[in-house]
Amino acid sequence: MAKDFYTILGVGKNASEEEIKKAYRKLAHQHHPDKAGGSDAKFKEVNEAYQTLSDAKKRRHYDAFGSAPQGGQSSGGGAGFGGFQWDFQGGDFSDIFSDFFGGGGQGRGQPHRQEKGEDIRVALHSTLEDSAFGAEKELSIKRDVECSRCKGSQAEPKSEIVSCAHCGGTGRVSRQYRTMFGTIAQQSACSACQGRGKVPKHKCTQCHGAGVRKETDTFKIKIPAGIDSEQMFKVQGKGNAAPLGAQSGDLYVAVTVAKHPIFSRKGSDLYLDLPVRFSQAAFGDKIDIKTLYDTVSLKVPAGIQSESVIKLGGKGMPRVSGFGKGDLLVKVRVQTPAKLSRRQKELLEELKKENL
């Protein structure tokens, strides 16, 4: 455990709670594995650091011993204390998660917060043209959708609503953990009633009380113009639906753009190899170039050298930010004649005499 949690979060040893929280938010956004350039390992590391430094007790322990408090080697399984764990019930974390990607914010100030539906991630293969023009695609995915019979209420229509027997109608259950600091009681939402304290007397017969059903959902999505491989875009509300009026999760579409037979791509710029005959290079010429968008008459200047690049401004990929397009860079490749006719040979012999 030689990890320095302060360095990981980029804060000083005397950082305030607020500074730590701020640093964590920034880094968690940056490294979130669902984001372009995100990193699972980094994200976990940042979370681990935050879990310790955001908790006054754990932080004191860390400052004193240089490691996070361990839950007394709780072998034998079960939910241990300490170490890395997701705790979506603990208010502090869900608060941070709800503003990921700008979504969320549901249920604030309500007596019992409903969990948002899960996000779904799918892979999508696209052509360069589809990416350039932002094509519309039909997508079929299996996801939880709201049950049509109970409309997500989990109750059989007209069923009586009764107090939850599991939690005695309080909506909360208490669990106790033994830790090196003594026994800690943790309150969490009752799983039987999802914290509502009330349950339907008769569960919906179609979804068996889940409020949602797994179905194949087919819908149209628009590929964001200019998207590149290893980038991801979000389709709001097309993740799993959640029961009891909670917000649906989101769909994250991870894109792979297929290699193009003619253009290669670097960011928003496209590259094209243009074979040019020796005489065209020497005298100059006008050559028709098919770009992604149109046909351009490219002026090849006299005396151009092989490997020279001619830029066609704005004929590259749209920038995914929405501002303008990249360029098309045409790389001239002067072809050396390999198979010569008798006449060509004679002429080249003449050129040779002229030191060409």
- Residues forming contacts to Zn ion in the complex (CB under 5 A) are 147, 149-150, 164, 166-167, 190, 192-193, 204, 206-207
* For Zn ion, the closer CB: 121 or 166: 166
286 contacts 297 by C-beta, under 8 angstroms: yes
Closest approach of Cβ 199 to Zn ion, in Å? Answer: 7
192 contacts 167 by C-beta, under 8 angstroms: yes
Beta strands across the sheet bearing 309-312: 264-266, 269-277, 328-335, 309-312
Residue 220 marked in a binding site: no
* For Zn ion, the closer CB: 192 or 274: 192
**Sequential DSSP letters for 284-305:** -EEEEEE-SS-EEEEEE-TTPP
Dist. CA 20–CA 26, nearest whole Å: 10
Residue 167 marked in a binding site: yes
Residue 66 marked in a binding site: no
Closest approach of Cβ 209 to Zn ion, in Å? Answer: 7
159 contacts 222 by C-beta, under 8 angstroms: no
Closest approach of Cβ 111 to Zn ion, in Å? Answer: 13
DSSP H helical segments within 107-222, as ranges? 128-133
* For Zn ion, the closer CB: 29 or 112: 112
Closest approach of Cβ 189 to Zn ion, in Å? Answer: 8
Using DSSP bridges, classify how beta strands 285-290 and 269-277 pair: parallel, antiparallel or unpaired.
unpaired
Residue 207 marked in a binding site: yes
Residue 73 marked in a binding site: no
* For Zn ion, the closer CB: 23 or 167: 167
Residue 279 marked in a binding site: no
Residue 139 marked in a binding site: no
Main-chain phi, psi angles of 26, to 5 degrees = -60, -45
* For Zn ion, the closer CB: 137 or 151: 151
Closest approach of Cβ 213 to Zn ion, in Å? Answer: 7
Query: Identity (one letter) of the amino acid at 181?
Result: F
Three-state DSSP state, 352 = helix
Closest approach of Cβ 192 to Zn ion, in Å? Answer: 4
Tokens for 148, please give them. Answer: 């049509």
* For Zn ion, the closer CB: 128 or 193: 193
- Closest by alpha carbon to 137, among 124, 148, 150, 149? 124
Q: Which residues are annotated as a binding site for Zn(2+)?
A: 147, 150, 164, 167, 190, 193, 204, 207
Q: Which residues are annotated as a binding site?
A: 147, 150, 164, 167, 190, 193, 204, 207
